[in-house]
A = this chain, B = another copy of it.
Amino acid sequence: MRITIKDLAEYCGVSSGTVDRALNNRPGIKLKTKQKVLEAAAKLNYRPDFTARSLVKGKTMTLGIVLFDLYNRTFAQLLNAVELKAKEYGYFIYVALTNKDPDNEKQCIEYLANHKVDGMILFTVHQGEEFEHYLESFSFPIITIFNFLSERWQYIGIHERGAMKDVALFIADKGYTKITYICPPLSFQGKRNIFTQEERLKGLEEGLSERGINHVKVIKQNDYLDVLDGLVFKDGDMAIVCSCDLYALEVMNHFKEKKIKIPEDVGLMGFDNIDVLKYISPKLTTVEYPVEEIGKMAVESLIYKIEDGKFNTYSPMSLDFKIIEGESI
């Protein structure tokens, strides 16, 4: 059986209060008593029971994070950064994966709440007043990432719209006049929270329209490769922009098969700058942004709120992004 504070007290012939003072560096204890207790603790292999401590302290030193999955490299990187940063502050991380399923997501949130996390990092597919009202029923702070909810919720991310606007200007200035945008998640428009995706599209359209291009062909289907088969690529005047690198890689593979040349026949751009791009040729032009930074900021912000009662102020969506020039456009 596990040794408790009571066992230690008995063993040392002191009270549990004294053991507590020794174990937790609290004042009001004779050095000698303290040493005796600490030695006994080491000898008997005592380990504090955090669940008991949590119960009295009302704090679990645990943060919950809700994500779609970890197949997406970006999320894995994010979680990695979150764990590291949290541990620095002595917090542990509960991961809860939703597979983008709204019901599943709610259940994850619910369970995390029951496990009494001190705070939550939330990447949600939900949106709307009802959901926000639901979130407000929780007594711990919540910070949203990637998908914005509303001003009522602390949010950390990059300026998605601005990034895509830059992309638009970048490709327009390269001389491309026909733009195709691939973003299957947009098919959930109005049904789920796809803030990030919508912002990117808006940015793209804004930027292009500044350059006099007022039409973007948007592909929202999951079988976007089939849709591409229906398009004609000549003169190299079309640029295909993908809402994330993974789609761009699929397109690349597909075009390789079809003997369509990048960038000669058609330009291609991704988004995310996932690390495997370094092994791919032609080098994919893409947008880099600091995922780890998002994770770290989320944790720091959350812990600050937990421990000091208020969110630290910073301009939201202020993180840097950068176009990484490859050879694909």
In the complex, the answer to whether B279 meets A48 with C-beta atoms within 8 Å is: no
Residues of A256-294 at the interface with B, using a CB-CB cut-off of 8 Å, are: 256, 275-276, 278-281
Top 5 A-B residue pairs of the complex, sorted by shortest distance between their CB atoms: A76-B76, A70-B80, A276-B276, A70-B76, A51-B54
What's the nearest-Cβ distance from chain B to residue A283, in Å? 11
| Across-interface contacts of A242 in B (CB, < 8 A) | none
Tell me, in angstroms, the Cα distance from A47 to B109 when the chains sit together.
12
In the complex, whether A114 has a CB less than 8 A from a CB of chain B is yes
Q: Which residue of B lies closest to A99 (CB)?
A: B84
Can you show 21 pairs from A to B with CB atoms below 8 A apart?
A: A45-B137, A49-B114, A50-B115, A51-B55, A51-B60, A51-B116, A62-B115, A70-B79, A71-B76, A71-B275, A73-B73, A79-B95, A83-B95, A83-B97, A87-B96, A87-B108, A92-B111, A93-B94, A93-B95, A256-B281, A279-B280
Residues of A61-108 at the interface with B, using a CB-CB cut-off of 8 Å, are: 62, 69-71, 73, 76-77, 79-80, 83-84, 87, 92-97, 108
What's the nearest-Cβ distance from chain B to residue A54, in Å? 4
Tell me, in angstroms, the Cα distance from A216 to B116 when the chains sit together.
55
